[in-house]
Amino acid sequence: MITVNLRPGQKRKRAGSNPFKGVLDTFRDLGTRVKDPLLLAAMGGWICVLAGLGLVYLNTVRQLYTLEPRLEQARSENRRFKTFLADKRRQEKIRDSLLAQITVIRNVDGDRYIWPHLLDEITKALPAYTWLVDMGPIAAPPSNAAPPKTKADSAAADSAAKPALAFQLNGRTIDIQAYTRFLRQLEASPWIDNVTPVSAQTIVEKDRPVTAFSIRATFSRADSAYIRTAPFSQSVR
C-alpha cells in the first residue's frame, strides 16, 4: 500500500507508538546534554527522594483509609462504655443509699421484737402447775474476742458479734419434775440458748410448800425457717 505525505517537513507518527517514548527521548537528550556526573548524581538522588516520599505518602493514605473504620468502631465502643459506666455509678449510688437506709432501720428496729419472741417461747415451754414471778435482763458476760484490725472488720464485728441479750427467770412450781421439763423445753427452743439453772429450793408460800427456781439464758436469733410472718392488715369480706 502506497502512502503519500501531503505535508512535507513533518514526520508522520507511526500507529501504535509507545506513549512514553517522548518522555524517554527527553531524558535521553537531557543525559546527552548534561556532562557533569555530580549534577547527574544529585538529580538521581532527588528523583529517589521524590519517589520515596510518594511511596510513603501512598502508604500513609492506605493506612489512614484502613484505620478510619477501626477509629469509628473505637469511638462507638467508647460512647457505649461511658453510658454503661454512668449507669453503673448511678446504680451503685442507689444501692449504697438503700444499704444505708436498711442499716438504719436494722439498728432502730432490730431489737424491737426480742421480748415478744422470748415471751412466746417461754409461754410455750411453761409446763402445768408452774408459773413465773418475774423476768428481766441481766448483764451479759464480757466477750474475749480480739479487737478488729480494720474498719471493715469493725463493721462486721458490730453487726455479727453484737452481744446477746441475757435474761433471768424467777418462778415457782409445785412439781420438781415440771421444773426439769421446763428446762428441757427451754433448751429445745431455737430462740433461747445457754439455759443455766441458778437455784432451786423449797419455800413455803401461802401455807403451801413450793419450789422456787431461777434460770438464766440468752436470746438467740433463730433461723429463717422458724420465723413466721403475717400481714399487718387483712381484708375481711
Cα(184)–Cα(102) distance, integer angstroms: 37
pTM score above 0.85: no
**Distances 128 to 124, 185, 190 between C-alpha atoms, Å:** 11, 13, 21
Cα(134)–Cα(126) distance, integer angstroms: 14
Are the CB atoms for 210 and 202 separated by under 8 Å? Answer: yes
* Among the four given CATH numbers 3.30.70.2830, 3.20.20.70, 3.40.50.1820, 2.60.40.1840, the one describing domain 114-142+161-222: 3.30.70.2830
Report the pLDDT value the prediction gives residue 222, as an integer from 0 to 100: 76
pLDDT tens, the chain, 237 aa long: 666 666 665 555 554 555 555 656 666 666 566 566 777 677 778 888 888 888 898 888 888 888 888 888 888 889 889 999 999 999 999 999 999 988 888 777 667 778 888 898 999 999 998 999 999 888 865 555 455 454 444 444 454 556 678 999 999 999 889 999 999 999 998 889 999 999 999 898 888 899 999 999 999 887 777 777 666 666 666
Half-sphere CA count of 40, side-chain side, radius 13 A: 10
Burial of 215 (0-12, 13-18, 19+ CB in 10 A): buried
User: For residue 37, how many other CB atoms are within 10 A of its CB?
Assistant: 8
User: For residue 16, how many other CB atoms are within 10 A of its CB?
Assistant: 5
Q: Which long-range contacts (CB under 8 A, 24 or more apart) does 123-129 make?
A: 124/185, 124/189, 125/182, 125/185, 125/186, 125/188, 125/189, 126/182, 127/173, 127/175, 127/178, 127/181, 127/182, 127/185, 128/178, 129/173, 129/174, 129/175, 129/178
Angle between helices 114-125 and 176-188 (to 10 degrees): 140
User: For residue 185, how many other CB atoms are within 10 A of its CB?
Assistant: 17
Q: Using DSSP, state whether 65 is helix, strand or coil.
A: helix
